[in-house]
Amino acid sequence: MSGGDAFLLGLFREELSNHSAVLTEGLLTLERGDGSPQAIEPLMRAAHSIKGAARVVDLDAIVSMAHVMEDILVAAGGGDLKMDAVGTDLLLGALDWMVGAAQTDDDALFAWMTAHADEAAQWVDRLGQYFRDNKASKAPSVESSPLPAPQVNVAVLSPGPLDPPEPEHSAPVQEPNDPPIRIAAETLSQILAFSADLLLESRRLEHLCRGLQPLKRLQRSLKTQLPAQSRDASLLEQGLHEQWQVMEQHDASLQHLSSRMNFLADRLHNLALQGRMRPFSEGIQGFPRLVRDLARQLEKSVELDIEGSQTLIDRDILTRLDAPINHLLRNALDHGFESAEERKASGKAPTGQLRLSARHRSGRLLIAISDDGRGIDAEMLRRKIVQKGLVTEAMAEALSDAELFDFLFLPGLTTRDTVSEISGRGVGLDVVQSMVHASGGAINVTSKPGLGTRFELLLPVTRSVMRTLRVTIAGQAFALPLSRIDRAERLDAQCVECLEGLYYFAAAEGNVALVSARRLLGLSEEDRDGHEGVLPLVLFSSEGRQYAMEVEQLVGETDLVVRPLDRRLGKVPHINAVALDAEGYPVLILDVEDLIRTADRLSGQAQRPKRRTSLATQRKIPRILVVDDSLTVREVERKLLENGGYEVAVAVDGVDGWNQLIEQSFDLVVTDVDMPRMNGIELVTRIRAEPRLEELPVIIVSYKDREEDRQRGMQAGADSYLTKSSFHDAGLIDAVRDLIGAGRPS
């Protein structure tokens, strides 16, 4: 091949990727003690296949390296060589070099290989030396002669003399029945979109068929009521009879067509959706190698156990998992696990157990990374957050473990006193949280001293099709994701009680607050006194708070093809996405997180009614919205501002803040930057783009204190930028007074 054929090089890269995964996994298995011929044979085939593929695209350096690797594996499979950690390191290192080299762009690949020929020659020499030093003494056969150390430029080395005959196998290797093909992600997305439209149209056809039934019943009724003795009636009856026959024929055809279209559409849609789903194993191929290499570097003994490797995940979600899992595994190895001596002293096995698992739970994907190490030092973490000025000592003592562990995700926070190549800089977990939130998920952490730590990532399985509960609110069609609701039920209104303006009812899990869906969505309330009859309810909960939302009708469960809202609409309060039902009408999919935040506010107002004051007095009290995803930070800022004479409302993230800004009036906004769903920069940008809010003063309070971070916030439109690690009572209050004046005198 001259100059490099782009198509062939693409095939080579794909083949190299597949075979390198087999080699990596197999070499780690060999190192753990399984040196049977059955375990080594796939590795021999993989090295041989890499050699053959590299020869096709004229990558002679890779041909030579794969050739020596194959000789080592053939010797190991025949019992003439015992693989050890040194040999595993060499083979993995050579494999890394080949994979890295192949990633070079097509136009520059051959020039790069020539420029790095000395590196390739060194790898061939080191592999050959290991082969000669460790191979059992044995007279060389005609088929396999000792490999001389290469003395020529490997980039242009002719592989012919080094190419041994094909190794003999007990049985021919069968080709896979389902060979993979390459398809562009955009093409697959279009197939999925078209199949969804076909599914929709087929359901509309089915609805049309059902619409013919009343007409058939009407004709049948007319036919039976006609006077039998009347000549005119006889003619009319004959005409109706002929129409009836035609309609019967067309109706049967329509029914058959509708049934067939439904079957084909369902099948096409499911196949297209399956095309987007990939097994978890495809996204974690490099992690066993990562754990092995890092454990050796740290001189720790750790075993990685992977569960749920065949769990299917949307390819978009799978590609986003690499960095978060990488960070969490590295943290577990460096922070979590003790040395073998420490483990023995505490009564543990010298080898630590690290587990990575994936499974579906309640319609969502659960990724868990757990270890049996030392656990998180909660007291050390308390001291760290006090030292950094994030909370006072009294506040730190009052924090629960769950609240305390939330601080682990702040940028710049670390429990390590020293910095290494692996950790100690305070970066990593904040990146993990940002990536999980960007994927529409959540992250939880639990830990017990001396027993270990567990991180759980809750993510959507796919973003294409959603199982939902259809409801009717104010005569309009809505849906809620089944994965985000607890249950739906119908309740006798006589069970509803009222206390201080808050409706509730008793359930098995305790008292449940009752809220109106119309009120949550800001729709006009029905004219009625209290609750009566049977109430259709949807129950959902978050962080220990549960609400029952009263709707007009529970329609039932259904699968909806989700379509995101047009970006030009911005964030619509309480709405997450849109779908079309079988008749082609839009169905709005509700954002349960938004509903919970609004229910929190409405319930709080009902439980703590404010003292009535005149309108003139109310206007004298400046109103501030504090937006921050940290409960601790929100409470600190709220108390500071209330003590300064300001009325304060709080929002748990950018979306919640934006919803409140649309629904209510404020004199100033204080916002964090790093938040789920919508960050502070996006919030400020939207405020400045909204005519009603463009003059609203905004203060950013962030842990990020770099100049570029400050500039980014100011360019978005903030009026002031403060850092959480340095601002004090006077600093925040002074900034607020400069923008909106003093608060109400105490």
Query: Does domain 187-278 correspond to CATH entry 3.40.50?
Result: no
Could you tell me the pTM of the whole model?
Answer: 0.54
* Bigger pLDDT: 200 vs 161: 200
Does residue 229 register a pLDDT over 80?
no
In this structure, what DSSP letter does residue 188 have?
Answer: H
Q: What is the mean pLDDT of residues 473-497?
A: 87
User: What whole-number distance in Å separates Cα of residue 78 and Cα of residue 503?
Assistant: 77
- The CATH superfamily of 6-162 is HPT domain (1.20.120.160)
CATH topology of domain 612-740: Rossmann fold (3.40.50)
Q: What is the mean pLDDT of residues 259-285?
A: 78
* Bigger pLDDT: 422 vs 340: 340
Give the pLDDT score at 211: 65
CATH topology of domain 465-599: OB fold (Dihydrolipoamide Acetyltransferase, E2P) (2.40.50)
Give the pLDDT score at 232: 57
Note the pLDDT tens digit of each residue in 359-390.
987 667 899 999 999 998 888 888 888 887 77
Does residue 593 register a pLDDT over 70?
yes
User: What whole-number distance in Å separates Cα of residue 716 and Cα of residue 705?
Assistant: 16
For 347-351, 642-646, 668-672, which range has the lowest pLDDT when averaged over its residues? 642-646
Note the pLDDT tens digit of each residue in 170-215.
333 344 445 555 666 666 777 777 777 777 677 667 666 666 666 6
Does residue 1 register a pLDDT over 70?
no
Q: Are 373 and 452 in contact (CB under 8 A)?
A: yes
* Bigger pLDDT: 422 vs 41: 41
User: What whole-number distance in Å separates Cα of residue 612 and Cα of residue 358?
Assistant: 54
How does residue 136 score in pLDDT terms, banded at 50, 70 and 90?
A: low
Does residue 59 register a pLDDT over 60?
yes
Note the pLDDT tens digit of each residue in 570-583.
677 888 888 877 66
Q: What is the mean pLDDT of residues 220-240?
A: 59
| Token representation of residue 681 | 């920069």
- The CATH superfamily of 284-460 is Histidine kinase-like ATPase, C-terminal domain (3.30.565.10)
Beta-carbon contacts of 683 under 8 Å, excluding residues fewer than 6 positions away, are 627, 654, 657, 658, 669, 671
Give the pLDDT score at 529: 52
In this structure, what DSSP letter does residue 681 have?
Answer: H
Which residue carries 């039934």 as its tokens?
213
Does residue 158 register a pLDDT over 80?
no
Does residue 321 register a pLDDT over 80?
yes
CA separation (Å) from 418 to 383, 425, 429, 705?
16, 8, 17, 22
Q: Are 676 and 597 in contact (CB under 8 A)?
A: no
Closest CA to 439 of 264, 313, 258, 253: 313
How does residue 551 score in pLDDT terms, banded at 50, 70 and 90?
A: very high
Q: What is the mean pLDDT of residues 420-438?
A: 62
How does residue 626 score in pLDDT terms, banded at 50, 70 and 90?
A: very high
Q: Within 13 Å of residue 575, how many CA atoms lie on the same side as its CB?
A: 21
Interaxial angle between packed helices 85-102 and 6-31, expressed in degrees from 0 to 180 and rounded to the nearest 10: 160
User: What whole-number distance in Å separates Cα of residue 545 and Cα of residue 540?
Assistant: 9
For 472-481, 525-534, 606-615, which range has the lowest pLDDT when averaged over its residues? 606-615
| Token representation of residue 193 | 């979109």
Give the pLDDT score at 434: 72
Where in the sequence of the chain do the CATH 3.30.565.10 domains occur? 284-460
Q: What is the mean pLDDT of residues 160-167?
A: 34
Q: What is the mean pLDDT of residues 251-262?
A: 72
Beta-carbon contacts of 55 under 8 Å, excluding residues fewer than 6 positions away, are 63, 159
Q: Are 549 and 538 in contact (CB under 8 A)?
A: yes
Beta-carbon contacts of 435 under 8 Å, excluding residues fewer than 6 positions away, are 320, 323, 324
Where in the sequence of the chain do the CATH 1.10.287 domains occur? 187-278
* Bigger pLDDT: 347 vs 710: 347
Where in the sequence of the chain do the CATH 1.20.120.160 domains occur? 6-162
Beta-carbon contacts of 712 under 8 Å, excluding residues fewer than 6 positions away, are 681
Give the pLDDT score at 527: 54
In this structure, what DSSP letter does residue 506 have?
Answer: E
How does residue 3 score in pLDDT terms, banded at 50, 70 and 90?
A: very low
Give the pLDDT score at 532: 67
Note the pLDDT tens digit of each residue in 391-423.
788 888 887 787 788 788 776 666 655 545 555
Give the pLDDT score at 607: 38
Q: What is the mean pLDDT of residues 556-560?
A: 81
Does residue 596 register a pLDDT over 90?
no
Note the pLDDT tens digit of each residue in 76-127.
888 888 888 888 889 999 999 999 898 888 888 888 998 999 999 999 999 9
What average pLDDT is seen over the chain?
78
User: What whole-number distance in Å separates Cα of residue 388 and Cα of residue 412?
Assistant: 10
| Token representation of residue 318 | 């799978």
Give the pLDDT score at 478: 94
CA separation (Å) from 159 to 62, 97, 277, 402?
10, 19, 40, 61
Beta-carbon contacts of 482 under 8 Å, excluding residues fewer than 6 positions away, are 363, 467, 468, 469, 557
Where in the sequence of the chain do the CATH 3.40.50.2300 domains occur? 612-740
Does residue 605 register a pLDDT over 60?
no
Give the pLDDT score at 428: 61
